[in-house]
Every structure is written in structure tokens, then in C-alpha cells.
Structure 1
Amino acid sequence: MSEPPRFDRGHTEDLMSFLTASPSPYHAVANTAERLEKAGFRQVAETDAWDGSSGGKYVLRGGAVVAWYVPEGAAPHTPYRIVGAHTDSPNLRVKPLPDSGAHGWRQIAVEIYGGPLLNSWLDRDLGLAGRLTLRDGTSRLVNVDRPLLRVPQLAVHLDRAVSSEGLKLDKQRHLQPVWGLGDVRDGDLIAFLEESAGLAAGDVAGWDLMVHSVEPPAHLGRDGELLAGPRMDNLLSVHAGAAALAAVAGAGTAPSSIPVLAAFDHEENGSQSDTGADGPLLGGILERSVFARGGSYEDRARAFAGTVCLSSDTGHAVHPNYAERHDPTHHPRVNGGPILKVNVNNRYATDGSGRAVWAAACERAGVPFQSFVSNNSMPCGTTIGPITAARHGIKTVDIGVAILSMHSARELCGTDDPWLLANSLAAFLEG
């Protein structure tokens, strides 16, 4: 077996560019597809008949992308090695009737998506991005990546209790951003976005829009050993998974397994959608690949029985100001290598045999790893891992990179951990 491809610190620099260019799930999958195309992958349509040819292929659906590489000589029952991730992040999303305001201020009506740290969106320069659906049924990506919106915090002089009782935000009243002065005009925002996207007035029939911080990713710290940036949860894993898949495909992996990247949307609100991990997207694609190579249902069962998935999502580094919130014997540190997530109540899918698979991949890549388990007194989060395992009956292991400020508009990780993760993913995908 060949040595897995190697990634260095240049991978982290590339991650910064990827984060900047991906302010929405739709941009993230478009940028992932562009990178896969450069690596020789080709898009296949779900409405077309598929053939059993070898090589790299991918499917785009909304904010999700599934890509796979079929080696020469792969049998119909060849198992898969899957890296699972998600493209969405907690944020503020535009409502169906977006134009609002009061007292001479023009505002945008937004909903709260997922579980963001609300205070992190205050007094921050915000852009607007997402997908515009046109009257002919096609879509157009839009990205106003300049200071356009702001959610202004109430001055301390008008809220003296904030110093003693803490900040309290009403999700309906206090999170609506301002974007100008004057009278509210219905249709103003969409007309502005049509102009920004070079569309004619009235072209847009629907939209999926969200705000984002326009502050770019940046190195932080005395020696630049930290990285601050938006949407690391979980574009960090999408980027690493795409890089690992492209590298393994370029190296010509042996037909002992078929490497796959599955980047889903809607993880932050339960994964129950046609593009979420709890939907049929992944299973349908894997099955069609088996059948396109002349396989039967028996071949499909054999392939799934030998399949392993790494559910890669960010996790919690030990917080220096809140160390008591962590398990006292499990303190993952940034730049200490990726983490293995364990929860015996199945909030994570890892078990002992899955740990062995992960440990072998890290050993082969020469990457250290750490273990994460929650403090028994603190509720544990979850991932697409248990969903993937239960829905498809495949062994799944939960891993990721340890970060601080999870679900903030701007998160923090170590500069070494992204490329250490990519190295371990490449070793795993090689089988």
C-alpha cells in the first residue's frame, strides 16, 4: 500500500481562502465542486442514467455535495470509505418578507438558523449571500461581501442591568439588522440583489439568503499559531475532506475501497431534509454506484457491510477560562491533533472498533490524536455520525478538530490542526 498524500501548512492558508469564498452552503459546494473538477472529477446528474466507469464523480444538490472515486477494477461489492461533514453554520437568515424597519431606520427581517451565539453577531460588519431562484427555475449565487448590514447593540447607558445581570437578547426584537435610512419599501432588498447579481428587475422568484461577517480569516497570536475565522464549524472538515479525496484519487488508490466525501446541509437544525444526513441522498448515490457497476442487492449489502464512515465535525478544545466545564481528564488542546469523540449514550457514533480504525489511520499518517468526552454534568452535542450509522447501517466514527468559540460568528482553532486532519483523512480514505 502506498503512503498517503501529505499536506503541510499551505493547506491552512488554502482553508482561509475557502472560508472567505464560502459564505453560504451553496457557495461551499460550488467551491468544492470547482476543486474536484480540477482534480479530474466530473459532475453526474441524478436524472441521468449512470454508467459503471471508473474515475471521480460528484453530485450536487442544493447545499450538499457527494463525491466518490471508483478505482480501476473495483468490484460491485467493493466497500466505501466515507468522510462525512456538513456545509451549514448557525447564522441569521432572511425571511420571506425581508423589508422592514421603524423610526427612520431601514432593516432586514431575519430568522435565527441553528443555535448561534447571538451576541457574536452584534456590532459586526455583515454581508449578505446565498442563492437566488429565478422564474425559469434556475438559480444564481449572490455574495455581497462588503459591510452592508449591522445588528447594533443597545448602549450601556440605556441598559444599566447588563453589567450585573448579563446581556439578554430577544430573538425577535433585538437581532434585526439595519442597512440604511428612510422609508421601508417592499421589494427593495430583492431589487438590490437582482442588480448586484446582474439580473433584470423581477427575475427572482425565490431566495435562500443569510448574513455573514465580512472580516476575513486571520492568523492570531504572538507566533501566529492560532487561526480566527468564520464557519469553521464545519467548512474546516469539508475543505479537508475534499483535499484528501482529490489527493487520494490523484494517487490512484487501490480497488480495496472506494473513497467518498459526503458534505450535507442542515446539520445545525436536525439533518431532516433532502440534502441532510437524515435524508436519502447518500444511500441512494452509493446504491446507484453499486448497480451501475453491474451489482445486485446482494453486492449492495456486502459493500455496505464493509463500509466505514468518519463523521468529521469540529469539537471543543479545553477553554482556559472555563476548564471546569470540561471533563477533568479529557482536555483536548489546539494544535494537538484531531480529536476522537466518544459518548456512550450514542450522541457520537464512536465505539471501540471504530477507535481502532481511526487510530490506524492516524498512525499511518504520522498524526497524533486526542480523545474528547463531555463532562458528565454537561449535555453533550451530537453530529451526523449517529444519523449516518442508523440510517445506512454502516460503521461510523466521530472525529474532528478542537476549536474555541463554537457557533460564534468567528471561531478559533490552531493553525496546525487543519492540515493534520487532512493528513489523517487521506490515510483513512486510502483504506
Structure 2
Amino acid sequence: MSDVRAVDHIDPIELDNFNQDLFAFLDASPTPYHVVKNQIALLESYGFEGLCEADAWQLEKGKRYYVTRNGSSLIAFVYGHDELLNSGVRMLGAHTDSPCLKVKPNAEIVAQSYLKLGVEVYGGVLLNPWFDRDLSLAGKIVYRDDKQVMKSLLINFDKPIATIPSLAIHLDREANKNRSINAQTDIPPVLMVLAQSDSSTANKKSSKDLLDNILMEQIKRQYDDLKIAQILDFELSFFDYQKAAYVGLNDDFIASSRLDNLLSCFAGTYALMRADTQGSSLLVCSDHEEVGSASTSGAQGTFLKSVLERLAGSAESLTRMVDQSMMISADNAHAIHPNFSDKHDANHGPLINQGPVIKVNANQRYASNCETGAVFKVLAESADVPTQSFVVRTDMGCGSTIGPIAATEIGVKTLDVGVPTFAMHSIRELCGNKDTWYLYSVLQHFFDFSKRIEIQ
């Protein structure tokens, strides 16, 4: 149910330009490593300077910076002119990872003269929609060059190279009633038909040889004269090659992979690029949210706290600065499904294109409280953006976000919000064409230090 009536004041050209940029970002970001790479390109185009965690930082008031960890998490910030102890930091949190299928270290499987790759399920994947899709492969490779120096690179096949064929209904007459999916045996993607000689050889060789050769060929296509002596290791993920697009008779919807949560990463990046330099604003996009955030580059790690400590300068200053700060955790919300409306609380079923959702949970699965929720409503009102509320049915379990982790680890006042979405964790998700702009508009106002957000 909307808390504020939806308004149709958006310039259609401005909206389409924003969404087309979002489409390009989604299509170019199949893995967290690519997400961060593309965020850096956007940030540098607006004058953000790269920092290294290993270096001593010499920050200047009014300048813009970014720093990465593991190449899959990013923190970017505007180091404002206002004193941090007075204005605090306005923070936005999102995550760079999405549920997917990750290639195992010894992945090759040769069966009936077909080459398949064994995969692990990463996060809470909705597996059924992965069948019969055009899949591509991307990720990070660590290698030794011709001078025996260890380096890394990103790879993206950028074309359909695999599929997971369904079993025909003729061979499983009960498929529409009770077919289950075995993640070990049913979902290894099929890459190619092997010649009989290749198939026999593959059974005798190390299980990495064929895949290493495939990866070497792709590296040559992407990097021309790069000299590689040996591939040492990799993190590779399959992804849906179908591009992001408008869907619906009136283009009401946006369909894409990884809307959860690259939509928030993109909107946050765009908002931060346009943030003023009066106060300090920060965007943190963490990896591994879909598997609990417990990693060096996840929200439960030290990345955000260490950056804030360096901004504050001392433990006491950090405590005082955080007390003046606020974080918005932006992660997608469940829109009420017209075919399954009974899965929602009748008074808390968010509608698509009716604005961002304030997510509330009494058991602290979301970090929102009445104060942070009120601040967001005021910001949305000033941006002419409608807002909605989501509470899970009391008889159902509730997911979570990085919001409660940030609130716990940092002690910062936090709010959980998100864009209403259908088919969350599917290979192809659906959101509203206006909600993308609504979220971005509120985040812009959040980073505008002329807007007061204090509660007296």
C-alpha cells in the first residue's frame, strides 16, 4: 500500500536516458568484479581519484575518492568541507553479488561425448528458470605471465556458450506436478559436442586441461598480445546472456538479470557522482551479501569500518562522527505478485511503479526504525517521490540485507529500502521503469546537505 500518492512528473526523455544507462551497466556487469570495474569507470569520469588501502592517505576537502577490496567491493566517497564531527557522513549501502552458478575448480565433465562444467549454486538461486537459457561465462583469472609474475585479469565470453537443457516431458510425464532439481546432477551446463577423439583424450587428461585451453583462447581474443605461461586459478560464473530490456504493452517493466542488487549499485553510483561537496557522502557496495556477508570483502568484514576510521582519525572521533551519520541500505523488495497475493500481508504489498519501499521487521531482519523511516519519507516528499511500506507476513520467515550488519558493526542509524521487484533471485527479474528513477531521485536528495535530516 502506498504511503504517498504516485505522481507522473518525470520527464520521459530523462527517464529513458537513465534507464538506458542502467541497461548498459547491467549488461556489462555479469560478476561483482565487472560491477566494480564499471563503477570505477563512471566515478573516474566525474573526477573521483583511486586510493589504495596499503598507502597512507592524504585527503583534501572537497575532493572525491574511491577504494576497492578484492576487486569485488567498492567504497567511494565525497570528502566534504563540513567538519565530520558536526555533519557526519551520509552513507548508502548496496551489494555487488547476485545468485548464480559458479564453476567448480575441477569442473570438466565428459558425458555421452558432451562437455559439461560442474557448478556450485551461489546464494539462494531460483533454479527452474536457468533451464533452456542462453548462458555465457565471466569472472576473474589469476595467472603467471612469461616472466613468472603472478597477475590477474577479468574475462567475459560475451556470447552464448552454454545451456542447461530441460528433460523433455515425454521422458518425465509428472514434470509439471512434482519435478525436483538435483543441484549436483541436473544443472551442469552443456558447452559443446566433443569429437570422438577429443572425448577419449579428455577422459585420460587432467580435468582442467580442456577448460584451461578454452580460457586461454578467450584471453587471446580479449587481450591480444598478453603472454600467459599458466592459469593458476579462477572464479567464473555463468550468467544469462539476454540483455536488459523494457517489457509490457506500455514499457511499464524492466526485465534483466541481477536487478538484485545492481540496480541499487547503479542508482547509488549516479547519485554519489552528483553529490555536492558541502558535506561528506559515501557509497559502499559489498560482495558476498547473498551468502551471508562474512568475508574480507563482505559487509561483515572490516572494509567500511576501516575507511570510516581513517576519515575520523581516532576512536573517539569515529564514535562522534557515526552519531551524526545515517546509512540507507538499498536492496530490492518483494512486489505483491498478482497471481500469489496471498503470500503478502494485505496491508503491506508494494506495487510496481509506486515508489521505493521502506522495509520493516520487528525482529531486526531489517534495520529500519521509526526515525530513519520518517527521514526517508521527508526526503522522498521533497523529491516528489511516492513511498511504500513492506512487512513480511507474520507467519512467514523474513530475509535480510546488509542494513542490520552495518547497524551492528558500525553503530550507525540505518534504514532498509528497495525497489519493488518480481521474481527475485530468478535468472531474470522484473521491476518498474519508473521505480528506478524514484530511487535515484531520493538518493540524490539524501546526498544533498542543504536538506536537513535531523530529528530534534
State the Cα deviation string for residues 352-396 of structure 1 (Å, max 9, x = none).
011111112111211111101111122111101111100111111
TM-score by length of 2: 0.89
Alignment of 1:154-233 (within 5 A): 154-165=167-178, 167-182=179-194, 183=199, 184=202, 186=207, 187-198=209-220, 199-200=226-227, 202-233=229-260
Query: Does structure 2 retain, via aligned residues, the 8 Å contact 1:77–1:299?
Result: no
The answer as to 2:358 corresponding to 1:340 is yes
Question: Hey, what does 1:37 align to over in structure 2?
Answer: 44
Q: How far apart are residue 60 of structure 1 and its match?
A: 1.2
Match of 1:253 among 237, 261, 277: 277
SS across alignment from 2:158: strand
Question: Hey, what does 2:453 align to over in structure 1?
Answer: none
Q: How far apart are residue 193 of structure 1 and its match?
A: 1.6
The letter of the residue matching 1:24 is T
Question: Hey, what does 2:100 align to over in structure 1?
Answer: 91
The answer as to 2:125 corresponding to 1:113 is no
Q: How far apart are residue 200 of structure 1 and its match?
A: 4.1
Question: Hey, what does 1:363 align to over in structure 2?
Answer: 381
Q: How far apart are residue 72 of structure 1 and its match?
A: 2.8
Judge which range, 127-136 or 264-273, deviates more. 127-136
The letter of the residue matching 1:49 is A
What root-mean-square deviation, in Å, do the aligned CA atoms of Structure 1 and Structure 2 show? 1.4
Query: Does structure 2 retain, via aligned residues, the 8 Å contact 1:191–1:201?
Result: no
SS across alignment from 1:319: coil
Q: How far apart are residue 205 of structure 1 and its match?
A: 1.1
SS across alignment from 1:9: helix
Q: How far apart are residue 298 of structure 1 and its match?
A: 2.0
Q: How far apart are residue 75 of structure 1 and its match?
A: 4.3
SS across alignment from 2:274: helix
The letter of the residue matching 1:153 is S
For residues 193 and 60 of structure 1, what CA distance do their matches in structure 2 show?
26
For residues 372 and 163 of structure 1, what CA distance do their matches in structure 2 show?
32
For residues 402 and 240 of structure 1, what CA distance do their matches in structure 2 show?
14
For residues 275 and 377 of structure 1, what CA distance do their matches in structure 2 show?
34
Alignment of 1:14-413 (within 5 A): 14-54=21-61, 55-62=63-70, 63-75=72-84, 78-135=87-144, 136-165=149-178, 167-182=179-194, 183=199, 184=202, 186=207, 187-198=209-220, 199-200=226-227, 202-248=229-275, 252-255=276-279, 258-291=280-313, 296-413=314-431
Query: Does structure 1 retain, via aligned residues, the 8 Å contact 2:85–2:324?
Result: no
Q: How far apart are residue 52 of structure 1 and its match?
A: 2.9
SS across alignment from 2:389: strand
TM-score by length of 1: 0.94
SS across alignment from 2:424: coil
Question: Hey, what does 2:452 align to over in structure 1?
Answer: none
State the Cα deviation string for residues 199-250 of structure 1 (Å, max 9, x = none).
44543211110000111011111111111111000000000000000011xx
- Name stretches of at least 5 consecutive residues in structure 1 with no aligned partner: 1-5
Q: How far apart are residue 290 of structure 1 and its match?
A: 1.9
Question: Hey, what does 2:8 align to over in structure 1?
Answer: none
Judge which range, 113-122 or 70-79, deviates more. 70-79
User: How many residues matched?
Assistant: 416
Shift in alpha-carbon separation, 1:76–1:139, aligned structure 2, 3 A: farther
For residues 41 and 150 of structure 2, what CA distance do their matches in structure 1 show?
22
Query: Does structure 2 retain, via aligned residues, the 8 Å contact 1:9–1:416?
Result: no
The letter of the residue matching 1:302 is R
Q: How far apart are residue 8 of structure 1 and its match?
A: 3.3
For residues 137 and 368 of structure 1, what CA distance do their matches in structure 2 show?
51
State the Cα deviation string for residues 392-429 of structure 1 (Å, max 9, x = none).
11111000100101000100011111111001011112
Q: How far apart are residue 77 of structure 1 and its match?
A: 5.9
Query: Does structure 2 retain, via aligned residues, the 8 Å contact 1:218–1:229?
Result: yes
Q: How far apart are residue 190 of structure 1 and its match?
A: 2.3
Q: How far apart are residue 159 of structure 1 and its match?
A: 0.8
Query: Does structure 2 retain, via aligned residues, the 8 Å contact 1:195–1:201?
Result: no
SS across alignment from 1:233: helix
SS across alignment from 2:109: strand
Query: Does structure 2 retain, via aligned residues, the 8 Å contact 1:43–1:57?
Result: yes
The answer as to 2:21 corresponding to 1:8 is no
Query: Does structure 1 retain, via aligned residues, the 8 Å contact 2:84–2:321?
Result: no
Question: Hey, what does 2:4 align to over in structure 1?
Answer: none
For residues 372 and 26 of structure 1, what CA distance do their matches in structure 2 show?
31
For residues 314 and 414 of structure 1, what CA distance do their matches in structure 2 show?
12
Query: Does structure 2 retain, via aligned residues, the 8 Å contact 1:339–1:400?
Result: yes
For residues 404 and 304 of structure 1, what CA distance do their matches in structure 2 show?
35
Shift in alpha-carbon separation, 1:327–1:73, aligned structure 2, 3 A: closer
